[in-house]
Structure 1
Amino acid sequence: MARIKEQVTLQQRAARPVELLSPDRDPEVRARACTHAFPRRHASVSAARRRVHAHLRACDLPGELCDLAELVVSELVTNAVLRTESSVVSCTAQVLAHGVRVAVDDEGPADAPPSGREMFLVDRVAGSWGTLPGADGRGRTVWASVALADAESGRPER
């Protein structure tokens, strides 16, 4: 937990990243993605956390990055479970060149910004985050990116 707090502090001090690689342009990135759908209930939060963490560890990512991404997954799925009327919540984790992008699809209003203490924590931990209208024109996607730490300085890559 101490390492997570250190990483959070480093992320807070660093400038926000401009952009990570687009997963649509790189087939290797698409291959390093996992998506899981869950019913909207509290038990889905821990299930999403476990599945994403296992996927990221299988991709040989550093433990600290897996822990940060797991925290973001937990908060985004919690936000969807608590603050939308979705019947299903879908969570995607994509391994990118400089980190991990997590996206949670819900059936919430596309123009309603995510709110609550979950998003406060995501804002503090993630390098960047935002919302997009759902792919089918209904619902929304709330995404967040967590960057790999620079090996020499311990600061996130930007």
Structure 2
Amino acid sequence: MSLDAAPHALAVVRRIVRAQLRAWEVEDLARPAAMGVTELLSNVHKHAKSPECVLTLRRIADGIRVSVSDKEPELPVVREPDFLSESGRGMFLLSKTAHAWGAIPAPEGAPGKEVWFVLKSEVDG
């Protein structure tokens, strides 16, 4: 799904994600998926020069893979959060929630990156 990562769009995107997970019968992943999608889209809004991005959900054998591609080349960094700060905890929380996550630069010649995470379903074992 191509979209602009604007704060007012996040609730709609979370509903779309939940609906897709329901269709795939992995509703147990709805809460962590919504948190992860919100974090990735919020980072695009806060850190990328352009809010344009692509959100991709994929059903994999034991769960889901979620990715957000944007035009900003800088890769995210997980830092130990300052819990008194109003921001800076999102990628740390995602790194502790997801079974795996990563960021890869766009193919050579293309601007941007892809940030992804994997959640495994307890229903699938």
Check whether TM > 0.5: yes
Q: For residue 150 of structure 1, report the CA deviation from its aligned partner.
A: 6.3
Q: Which residue of 2 aligns with 1:72?
A: 36
2:36 aligned partner, one-letter code: V
Give per-residue Cα distances to partners, 1:47-92, cap 9 Å, x unaligned: 221211111111122x221222122111111111112112312111
Q: For 1:147 and 1:57, how far apart are their aligned partners in 2?
A: 15
Query: Does the 8 A contact of 1:75 with 1:121 survive in 2?
Result: no
Q: Which residue of 2 aligns with 1:16?
A: none
Q: Which residue of 2 aligns with 1:55?
A: 20
Q: Which residue of 1 aligns with 2:10?
A: 45
Q: For 2:121 and 2:21, how far apart are their aligned partners in 1?
A: 12
- Of the three residues 78, 84, 92, the one matched with 2:48 is 84
Q: For 1:83 and 1:49, how far apart are their aligned partners in 2?
A: 20
RMSD value, Cα:
1.9
Q: For 2:47 and 2:29, how far apart are their aligned partners in 1?
A: 27
Q: For residue 132 of structure 1, report the CA deviation from its aligned partner.
A: 1.1
Q: For 1:134 and 1:53, how far apart are their aligned partners in 2?
A: 27
Q: Which residue of 1 aligns with 2:100?
A: 128
Q: Which residue of 1 aligns with 2:114?
A: 141
Seen in structure 2, the aligned counterparts of structure 1 residues 69 and 98 have a Cα distance that, compared at 3 Å, is same
Q: For residue 41 of structure 1, report the CA deviation from its aligned partner.
A: 1.6
| Matched residue count | 114
Query: Does the 8 A contact of 1:81 with 1:89 survive in 2?
Result: no
Q: Which residue of 2 aligns with 1:117?
A: 89
37-46 or 123-132, which deviates more: 37-46
Seen in structure 2, the aligned counterparts of structure 1 residues 69 and 51 have a Cα distance that, compared at 3 Å, is same
SS at structure 1 position matched to 2:50 = coil
5+ residue gaps, structure 2, are: 78-87
Q: Which residue of 2 aligns with 1:9?
A: none
1:147 aligned partner, one-letter code: K
1:91 aligned partner, one-letter code: L
1:138 aligned partner, one-letter code: P
Give per-residue Cα distances to partners, 1:19-71, cap 9 Å, x unaligned: xxxxxxxxxxxxxxxxx12113212322221211111111122x221222122
